[in-house]
Amino acid sequence: MSSQIAIQKVSQPKPKPNQAELGFGHFFTDHMFIMDYTAGQGWHDPRIVPYGPIEVEPSVMVFHYGQATFEGLKAYNTVDGRILLFRPYANAERLNVSNERLCIPPIDPNFTVEAIKSLVEFEKNWIPAGEGNSLYIRPFVIATDPYLGVKPADTYKFFIVLSPVGAYYPEGINPVKIYVESNYVRAVKGGLGFTKTAGNYAASLKAQEEAKEKGFTQVLWLDGIEKKYIEEVGTMNVFFKIDGEVVTPSLEGSILAGITRDSTIKLLKSWNVPVNERRISIEELYVAHDQGKLEEAFGTGTAAVISPIGELNYNGRTISINGGKTGDLSSKIYHTITGIQNGSVADTFNWTVEVK
Amino acid sequence: MSSQIAIQKVSQPKPKPNQAELGFGHFFTDHMFIMDYTAGQGWHDPRIVPYGPIEVEPSVMVFHYGQATFEGLKAYNTVDGRILLFRPYANAERLNVSNERLCIPPIDPNFTVEAIKSLVEFEKNWIPAGEGNSLYIRPFVIATDPYLGVKPADTYKFFIVLSPVGAYYPEGINPVKIYVESNYVRAVKGGLGFTKTAGNYAASLKAQEEAKEKGFTQVLWLDGIEKKYIEEVGTMNVFFKIDGEVVTPSLEGSILAGITRDSTIKLLKSWNVPVNERRISIEELYVAHDQGKLEEAFGTGTAAVISPIGELNYNGRTISINGGKTGDLSSKIYHTITGIQNGSVADTFNWTVEVK
C-alpha cells in the first residue's frame, strides 16, 4: 500500500452551515478520502477527492449481503487553537477487528490514522466553532463487486467522510428515559455484536422505533440467550454505580468494545473508584434500586460521550435513578473526557493526537 | 402508488453471454426496474430503465446501517415455449415481512408481481436456453437518505434486476459435504433471522469461508441459544428423512420461511409422506444415523431447489448419509419442482404464473 495520498481539490468550496442548524450527520465537508482494494493487488490508490455522489452497480454486493464496516470518532478545536483527535488508533484497530469478522481485508492502522489526519488537516476550516461542536469522522468500508453470489467480495472501497456536528447537549447534559427491551434482540455471542457493521444497526431500528412510540428515548438491550443480562443501551455501552462500585457488562462477544467505555474504565481506576466488568442481570439492577443502592446509570459512546439514564422501564415497572438527575460521577466523567478532547483538561493518558 | 410503469429503452442492447459461461449472478440484462419512496408521498415513479450504475451519496444510509431487504426467484422457459414464474406472490409477500421488521415501508405485493412480470416480459430474450438455465430475478430495497443518524430512512429505492443464470447442477444433482457449525451463529429469535436482509448474509461469510478451507461445501447452522437445534444449511432450509418421516426445523423466528421449503412440505403431504415441522437436535440426528434410520438429508432453496447432503461433520465425527448418494425422495422432490417450473410436470398446486 502506498502512503502517497493523491489530492484533487474542489474548484468551488461549499458554503458552511450555520452552527445552529448543524445537528448530527446532515452536512459533509468539501472533500473525502477514498482507497480501493482489489484481490491480488491489496489496498491501492489512496486519494482525497471532492465529496460527492459515487457510482455503483445495482448489483454491488454491499446492497445485497451487507459486507460493510465502519468507525466513528471526532476532531475537536481546542481552547488554545489546536486540533485534536481522541484515541484514533483505537478506532483504526477496532476497524480491523470488524473487518476480520466480516471477511474484509485489514487496513494498516497507522495508515488509517495518517489518512484521517491528512483529511482533517485539509478540511480544518470545517471544524465548527462553538462549545461542544466538533467534526465527526466516519471511516467505512463497503464490498463493491457487481456480483450476486454469497461470498466475501474481491473488491472494496474504504472511505473517510467528515461531518460538522453540533453539541450533543446544547442545553447541558440531560438524563433520558430508557425502555428495557425483552422482545427484540440486538446480537448474540457467535454473531456480529462485537463489530461495527451495518447489519447490527439495521437490527436495532424496530425496537428503537417502538420505544420512541412508548415515550422512551432508547432501549436497554438484554442478552439474546436468557433475556436476563444487560448488554448495551441504544448504540452505547452502559454503566451502573451500585453501592459505590461501578459495574459494566463484560465483553463476551455480543457487545461492542467501546472506546468511550474503555476510557471511562481507565478514568475510574485512576480515581480509585472500584469498577467491575462482569455480567449484570436486570433483576439484580432492580433489587439494587429497591435497596437504595442504585446510585447512577449512564451510557457511553462517541456521540454523547456520557448519556445519563434517569428512568428505566422493565416489564411495566418504572424506576427512577438518582431522582432523574445527572449523577456526580457521570458528570465528572463527562467533563473530564470532553475536557481532554477540547484541551481544557490535562491529557495524562496520552489519548489525544494532534492534527498539524 | 401509480401502476403506470414508465419505460426508457436502451439505445444499444448488450451482447448476451454464452450459455457455458453463465454461472450465477455475473451477468445482468439490458434493463432494470426502479421505484422511489419518499416519506409523505409513498412509493412513486415506477419505471423500467437501462441497467447501469446508479449514483449514491457516500453517506447513503444503506452503506452505514444496512437497512436493506431482498428477494430471489426465477423465470423459466417451458418446454412448450411459455415463460413461467414460480410462486412470485409468495416472494412479494415475504418481502413485506422483511420490510416490516426492517422498518421499510411495505410495497403492494400485487404491484411487485406486476413489476416483475413487466420487466421479465420486456427482457424475455434474456431467458437463457438450455436445460436448467433460467433468469434469476432479484428484487431489493435500500435506504437512500444521505444521513448518518441511526433511524429508519425517509427515502428508499426498490429495484428489480435480472441475471441470466446457468443450471445449478450442470452435471446432475450431486450431494455435498457439510460442516456442522458450533462456533459462529447465524441468527437468534428476536433478531433478523426470519428476514431476507443484507446483514444475515454478512454474518454467514466467515463460517462459510472456514468450512470451505476445511474441505466442506457449506455449514449447518445450529441455534444461537443452546447450540443444539438444527436451523439451516448455508443459505437454505434443511430437511431430514428419518425412519420414513420427513422432519424440518419449525419456524420459530430465527430461520427463513423458504418458499421451496413450503413447496416441499406441500408436495410431501400430497404424496402422503409424513412430514413434521419441529425442533430437531444435532444429537438426535446422529443417534438416528447410528440406528440406521437417517435415510436422506437435503437443503431447499431457490438457487439449487434441492441440494442433497451426502456427509455431515459435527465435532470431528463424520457421518455419511445414504452412502453419499442422492436419495430417492430428494430426487423425486427435485424433479417434481423443476418439472413444474419448466412446464413438464402438471402444476396441480397453481404455483406458476405465466408471463405473457
What confidence tens digit (pLDDT) does each residue in B257-302 have? Answer: 999 999 999 999 999 999 999 999 999 999 999 999 999 999 999 9
Which among A32, A59, A198 is the nearest to B198, CB-wise?
A: A198
Alpha helices in chain A (DSSP H): 61-65, 88-101, 109-122, 198-213, 259-270, 282-290, 328-342
Q: Model confidence at A341, in pLDDT bands (50, 70, 90)? A: very high
Q: Residue B213: CB partners within 8 Å, gap ≥ 6?
A: none
Residues of chain A with CATH 3.30.470.10: 6-165
Share of chain B above pLDDT 70, in %: 99
Model confidence at A3, in pLDDT bands (50, 70, 90)?
low
Examine the pLDDT at A1 and tell me if it is beyond 60.
Answer: no
Cα dist. B48→A172, A341, B41 in Å? Answer: 51, 51, 20
Cell 458528570 maps to which residue? A331
Q: Is the dihedral of CA A259, A260, A266, A269 positive or negative?
A: negative
Residue pairs between chains A and B whose CB atoms are closer than 8 Å: 213
User: Is A32 an 8 Å CB contact of chain B?
Assistant: yes
B203 in Cβ contact with B186 (< 8 Å): yes
- Residue-wise pLDDT for B178-190, tens only, equals 999 999 999 999 9
For the cut 90, the answer to whether the pLDDT of residue B51 exceeds it is yes
Which tens digits make up the pLDDT trace of A161-181? 999 999 888 777 889 999 999
Q: Please name which of B217, B184, B186 lies closest in space to residue B310, comparing C-alpha atoms.
A: B217
A195 touching chain B per CB within 8 A: no
Chain B residues with CB-CB distance to A63 below 8 A: 62, 68, 140, 142, 198
- Answer yes or no: do A64 and B70 touch at CB < 8 A: yes
Which residues, listed in sequence order, are joined to residue A297 by a DSSP beta bridge?
A: A240
- Classified by CATH at the fold level, domain B176-342 comes out as D-amino Acid Aminotransferase; Chain A, domain 2 (3.20.10)
DSSP, residue by residue, A7-48: E---SSPPPPPPGGG-TTTS---SEEEEEEEETTTEEEEEEE
Query: Could you say which of B54, B59, B206 has the minimum Cβ distance to residue A56?
Result: B54
- Smallest CA-to-CA distance from B258 within B85, B25, B115, B73 is with B73
- Topology of the domain covering A6-165: D-amino Acid Aminotransferase; Chain A, domain 1 (3.30.470)
Q: What is the pLDDT of residue B274?
A: 98
**Are residues A191 and B203, on separate chains, in Cβ contact within 8 Å?**
yes
Q: Which of B51, B67, B150, B157 to mutate to test the interface with A (most CBs of A within 10 A)?
A: B150
Decide if B199 and A204 are in contact by the 8 Å CB cutoff. Answer: no
Give the whole-number percent of chain B exceeding pLDDT 90. Answer: 95
Residue of B33, B64, B218, B231 to mutate, testing the A interface (most A Cβ within 10 Å of its Cβ): B64
Show the 3-state SS of B234-259.
CCEEEEEEECCEEEECCCCCCCCCCH
Q: Which cell numbers hold the place of B150?
A: 441511526
- Flag whether pLDDT at A190 surpasses 80: yes
Q: What is the average per-residue pLDDT within B48-65?
A: 98
Closest chain A CA to residue B141? A63
Q: Encode pLDDT of B334-356 as tens digits.
A: 999 999 999 999 999 999 999 99
Which part of chain A is CATH 3.20.10.10? Answer: 176-342
The answer on pLDDT for B131 being more than 90 is: no
Secondary element (H or E) of residue B117:
helix B109-122
- The residue-averaged pLDDT of B323-342 equals 97
pLDDT at A257 (0 to 100): 98
Whether the predicted pLDDT of A30 surpasses 90: yes
